[in-house]
Amino acid sequence: MNKRVAITGLGFCGAVGNGVAALRHALKSGESGLKPLTLFDSELAGEYPVGQYAGDLAQDFRTRKRPLKPRELARLSRSDLLAMVATAECLSHARLSAAELGAAGAGVYLGQSVCGTYNSELRYIECVREAAQRGHASSRNLSALYVHEGANSCDAIAREFELAGPFASFMTACSSGANAIGLAAQQISAGKADVMVAGGADSLSRIAYLGFHCLGVMSPEGPRPFDAHRKGMCVGEGAGMLVLESEAHATQRRAKILGWLSGYGHTCDSHHLTAPHPEGTGAIGAMRLALADARLGAADIGYVSAHGTGTLDNDKVESIAIARVFGERAVPVSSTKRLFGHTLAASGAIKAIICLLALQDKSLPANFGLNTPQDNALDLLAQTRSAPKLKHAISNSFGFGGNNAALVFSEGP
């Protein structure tokens, strides 16, 4: 980064609870939020657990900001609400008022993939059932389908929090949230913005749940990333949002700087629709670009927050990539997806928060579910580890289509 980018606010909601405090507790206790699916009916619900958010999103938003009117709720998807709840927390955490956001020309970058699919599925099912009962199709108000598009969450956040600056929605599969954060940081580093709200949000849906099952990558026992006997992933939902600021802006308003986003790299494998490149070329490139952007060497990194889905291909290839980047040095590595499942586009944003908590608490989260490491070349964290000298961490996010992103975070002042 040409100029330092400060992180001053964090927001989270997911299967382990509402708020960064709930996430921090789960990281320390190891209590998983994976449970049987109840959001919608499926014959697989009792067989494959999910990371489903258990709270009332409308009530959660009311608690954090204000009550939403029925007409407003009708135009918001489950993904929109997840994003808005996390955004309300991160802005409150940063102590930024609407007036300050307006004066700074704050913008929003958001990563998504499922978007409003869950709500679209509900309306489609209602229409089909009604047509079957009548024996023919009938006219019906389909205005709720407007929430299906990916930009709806960005629209909702910008409108609710009066963010009139740079605005974009990104869809690069499971690296979407990480790319949104990295690209927002570039806006600040280039002097095009002083404040950006960035992250990712995704909800559960039938298409995602059944789609991953059809690919044969879901595990009935929960994910066990990097374990020799791993059986696959679990789908989750959630949101992670960050407030990014220029160093000058954060210093001027005397904000508490939680850490720095010091490096960002992204690449494409150009290899396969769903499978990663077997030699990890794209993953290696993303990590090396992020390190170069941060002006750091591999030896400076004290923790790798792995993408670590628990699938056979991802973990194998990511292990190869990490070993190539860090050489013979066994850098501590862990994946936290057993806590809340694979939250798709939100994953990179949630892991960004996990890296910042690690830097603040000087504590590395365990690779939950690990019994038999698949690769002794990696320093896989079987349990939480104290790291008093931790100064820099890197977070990996890899998506379908070979979309790779890496973010480097550094400790705050």
Active-site entry in 174, 249, 266, 355: 174
Active-site entry in 249, 266, 307, 392: 307
3-state per-residue secondary structure call for the chain: CCCCEEEEEEEEEECCEECHHHHHHHHHHCCCCCECCCCCCCCCCCCCCEECCCCCHHHHHHHHCCCCCHHHHHCCCHHHHHHHHHHHHHHHHHCCCHHHHHHHCCEEEEECCCCCHHHHHHHHHHHHHHHHHHCCCCCCCCHHHHHHCCHHHHHHHHHHHCCCCCEEEECCHHHHHHHHHHHHHHHHHCCCCCEEEEEEEECCCHHHHHHHHHCCCECCCCCCCCECCCCCECEECEEEEEEEEEHHHHHHCCCCCCEEEEEEEEEECCCCCCCCCCCCHHHHHHHHHHHHHCCCCHHHCCEEECCCCCCHHHHHHHHHHHHHHHCCCCCEEECCHHHHCECHHHHHHHHHHHHHHHHHHCEECCCCCCCCECCCCCEECCCCEECCCCCEEEEEEEEHHHEEEEEEEEECC
Question: Among this protein's residues, is 307 annotated catalytic?
Answer: yes
Catalytic residues: 174, 307, 342
